[in-house]
Structure 1
Amino acid sequence: MSYEAIRVDLDASNHVATITLNRPDKLNSFTRAMHLELSTALDQVEASGARALVLTGAGRGFCAGQDLADLDFTPGAMTDLGELIDAHFNPLIRRLQGLPLPVIAAVNGTAAGAGANLALACDLVLAARSASFIQAFVKIGLVPDSGGTWFLPQRVGMARALGLAITGDKLSAEKAESWGLIWQTVDDVELAATASKLAAQLAQQPTRAIAAIKQAMRAGTTQPLDQQLDLERDLQRELGASHDYAEGVQAFVEKRAPRFEGR
């Protein structure tokens, strides 16, 4: 399948897919066309049987958010940002959160605006040591979108979340890691290899269980303990009837490495 604004690489040998945002001259900022390509690419990844996904950017940046050149600023005909978000950004964030496989963001440079929150919508965020995260919305009179007002307070607390959103200051990758905003910072030259290795490792894990862990962890941020206990029970019942549970137990008994199949 041919794309212009992204690249898709499917490695059948280890069941890992890589999607690269590929508008490096525009810091991989989003246009409507790029959104449509990314949606199609995610369909392709799911249909391929991939069991882990890496999302990264080409060139010196991960993603600078929305490409303002793709918007209409004509008086009386300005782009309705609510419609744009409803049509493109919100479906993308929901899609990434709901994918039934682990998603790794490999942040190779600047992640700004919706680009920063795109990374945070992934399950694990690896960042190059030179990378940075910027809630740039306030610089043009806007509020963080693409889940920013949800991800930030949960991960770094209200004081830091407000500080990042209100000032629009750049947050270094190392500080983002120390604050608990992202999973890990690595040397720039090691980012791609580290992301690939982690994805290959996760692709060998029981991906149905990983999908259930994602569901349960996210539900736990918004619902009472009683409901969470019921969800854990229901997910455990379902997983207890899976191939991977039986294989995991058998491998434990036989003192060997399990061979999970994601089913």
Structure 2
Amino acid sequence: MPTVLVERDGPVAWLTLNRPDRLNALSDELLAELGDALDESARADDAVVVIRGAGRSFCAGYDIAPDSSEVGYAAERTPVQDRDRLLGNIELFTRIWRHPQPVIAQVHGHCVAGGAQLASLCDITIAAEDAKIMTSPALPLGGGYLSPLWVHRVGPQRAKLMSFDAGRRISGRTAAEWGWAAEAVPADELDEYVRRTAHSLARTPAPLLRLKKEAVNRMVEQQGLLTHARTGAETDALLHQTPEVKQVQESIKSLGLKGAIAAFNAPFDERFGSAG
């Protein structure tokens, strides 16, 4: 099965992340197929592109499960090799930002870490009101890969809150209030709302959409968006080498992802009760 499904509905292309059994966690294969689908869409002159997730969630982030061989999260790398890998992901998502036509992120269920990174570089994010959005997984696994990008999107205090507190989540409704998402709608209306919005955008001739997008993007890039997006790679690669992060990686290997999360939360839960 392809990990990215491509469908067309007139001028709108739908790219569906298709690893529902892993909540569409980002593997090397999925990332490569997403890049190919974006290239194909650019060649096809689609007026609007929508990126969404199959099954229960938009995207659970990079695949860090202990049996994952695609991303190879725990593989031994030098800091420079790790930084280059992380920057490669940023470059892929930058292709969404610089895609010739508008790209909408349709966010439902979980949108975590790499999934939030992907959505942050789409042109318009429309979220289900009950979506669960997190900038980091529920474990302290790195140095805030997304945090500099979120400074640009929601401001430094909210970016720090989301980064410092491992596993902190906001709803789609809150994400829209903060400005991370353009809009939030009831979950049962999300599909139809995004479809209607995409086709409404597509009424504007594609050359006009392209130049309108470039004009806005230039202003945002002058404010440092892409520099922010790249900055987190260096800090993340550095902290991947620390004993503290390596200990968490070993915990995932020995206990599994859910077990490692439970072990990390145990002292907090014992004092304050389960965080849910």
Give the CA deviation at 1:74: 5.2
Cα distance, 1:223–1:107 mapped onto 2, change above 3 Å: closer
C-alpha distance after superposition, 1:197-239 (max 9, x if no partner): 1111111113333333333323324548xxxxxxxxxxxxxxx
- The number of equivalent residue pairs is 217
- The answer to whether the 8 Å contact 2:135/2:147 transfers is no
Higher RCO (CA-CA < 8 Å; seq separation 6+): 2
Give the CA deviation at 1:27: 0.8
One-letter amino acid of the counterpart of residue 102, structure 1: P
Residue 120 of structure 1 aligns with which residue?
120
**Given the alignment of the two structures, is residue 156 of structure 1 paired with residue 157 of structure 2, yes or no?**
no
Residue 20 of structure 2 aligns with which residue?
24
- The answer to whether the 8 Å contact 2:101/2:213 transfers is no
The within-5 A match list for 1:1-263 is 4-11=2-9, 14-68=10-64, 69=68, 70=70, 71=72, 73=74, 80-87=81-88, 89-136=89-136, 139-145=139-145, 148-168=146-166, 169-221=168-220, 223=222
- The answer to whether the 8 Å contact 2:15/2:51 transfers is yes
RMSD: 2.3
Cα distance, 1:127–1:116 mapped onto 2, change above 3 Å: same
Q: Distance in 2 between matches of 1:100 and 1:222?
A: 16
Q: Distance in 1 between matches of 2:76 and 2:92?
A: 29
Give the CA deviation at 1:72: 5.4
Moved more, 71-80 or 191-200: 71-80
One-letter amino acid of the counterpart of residue 83, structure 2: G
Cα distance, 1:163–1:48 mapped onto 2, change above 3 Å: same
TM-score (norm 1): 0.75
Q: Distance in 1 between matches of 2:85 and 2:124?
A: 26
C-alpha distance after superposition, 1:36-94 (max 9, x if no partner): 1111111221222210011000111111111122315356789943232233x122211
Q: Distance in 1 between matches of 2:62 and 2:79?
A: 15
Moved more, 90-99 or 215-224: 215-224
- For structure 2, the 5+ residue unaligned runs are 224-276
Cα distance, 1:72–1:66 mapped onto 2, change above 3 Å: closer
- For structure 1, the 5+ residue unaligned runs are 225-263
Cα distance, 1:197–1:76 mapped onto 2, change above 3 Å: closer
SS of 1:30 mapped into structure 2? coil
Q: Distance in 2 between matches of 1:39 and 1:90?
A: 12
One-letter amino acid of the counterpart of residue 101, structure 1: Q
Cα distance, 1:138–1:151 mapped onto 2, change above 3 Å: same
